[in-house]
């Protein structure tokens, strides 16, 4: 079993590299963004609550995200037998600690944290391009800058947290998709 957190600022390529990791290692993918967008699209109560936070460029409260993850993991035990890639979670140290507890209760843990490192001007370009291509309403410049600010203040400290545990793998997020993926494979084996 191989459990990986894919880590990086909005627009760093987490979704793209998650797809490569899934195919190569047979991992089950949990994208908190996709889960939340699904709930928003279906108009569930969770979706309505999440939309309020997302529209403001804020993070979803920790207890809500942990409950969502627990449900997704428990509903997909068979699919997750080879391991899980966590895309977009954790985003705070409190979430990382809660994820460790959640996984320990299931007899597993995080094996590696893949950190895609991309300069901020490139992140803004990527987010705006993604918004034009996908039509994602949250991919506009104002919201992108808010999301990057939240990332720098709340999420970036996770790098130090996971470095101290020896799990963080810094990956240069510039270059071709294949080149970046080859760097990831070298780091996680």
User: Are the C-beta atoms of 28 and 83 separated by less than 8 Å?
Assistant: yes
- Active-site entry in 37, 125, 136, 159: 136
Q: Which DSSP string do the residues of the chain spell out, in sequence order?
A: ---EEEEESTTSSHHHHHHHHHHHH-PEEEEHHHHHHHHHHHT-HHHHHHHHHHHTTPPPPHHHHHHHHHHHHHHTTTTTTT-EEEES---SHHHHHHHHHHHHTTT----EEEEEE--HHHHHHHHHHHHHHH--TT-SHHHHHHHHHHIIIIITHHHHHHHHTT-EEEEE--S-HHHHHHHHHHHH-
- Active-site entry in 23, 106, 146, 147: 147
pLDDT at 156: 81
Average the pLDDT over 65-70 and give the result.
Answer: 85
Domains, the chain, ranges and CATH? 4-182 (3.40.50.300)
In the predicted model, what is the mean pLDDT of the chain? Answer: 89
Residue 51 predicted with pLDDT over 80: yes
pTM for the model = 0.82
Residue 175 predicted with pLDDT over 80: yes
126 is catalytic: no
Q: Which residues contact 135 (CB under 8 A, 6 or more apart)?
A: none
pLDDT at 159: 92
pLDDT at 106: 93
pLDDT at 73: 92
- Which of the listed ranges 8-12, 16-20, 146-150 does the model predict with the highest average pLDDT? 16-20
136 is catalytic: yes
Could you report the per-residue pLDDT of 130-141, keeping only the tens digit for each?
888 877 776 778
Residue 119 CA to its chain's centroid (Å) = 18
- Active-site entry in 106, 125, 126, 130: 130
- Parallel, antiparallel, or unpaired: how do β-strands 4-8 and 168-172 relate? unpaired
Average the pLDDT over 82-106 and give the result.
Answer: 92
169 is catalytic: no
- Active-site entry in 14, 51, 126, 169: 14
């Amino acid at each position: 079993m191989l459990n990986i957190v894919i880590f990086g600022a909005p627009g760093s390529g987490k979704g793209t590299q998650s797809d490569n990791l899934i195919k190569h290692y047979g991992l089950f993918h949990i994208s908190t963004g996709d889960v939340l967008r699904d709930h928003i699209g279906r108009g569930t109560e969770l979706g309505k609550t999440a939309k309020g936070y997302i529209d403001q460029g804020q993070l979803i409260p920790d207890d809500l995200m942990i409950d969502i993850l627990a449900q997704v993991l428990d509903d997909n035990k068979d699919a997750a037998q080879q391991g899980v890639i966590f895309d977009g979670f954790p985003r705070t140290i409190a979430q990382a600690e809660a994820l460790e507890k959640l996984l320990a209760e299931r007899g597993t843990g995080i094996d590696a944290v893949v950190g895609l490192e991309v300069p901020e001007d490139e992140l803004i370009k990527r987010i705006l391009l993604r918004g034009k291509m996908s039509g994602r309403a949250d991919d506009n410049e104002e919201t992108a800058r808010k999301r990057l600010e939240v990332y720098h203040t709340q999420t970036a400290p996770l790098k130090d947290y996971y470095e101290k545990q020896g799990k963080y793998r810094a990956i240069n997020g510039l270059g071709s998709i294949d080149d970046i993926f080859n760097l990831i494979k070298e780091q996680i084996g």
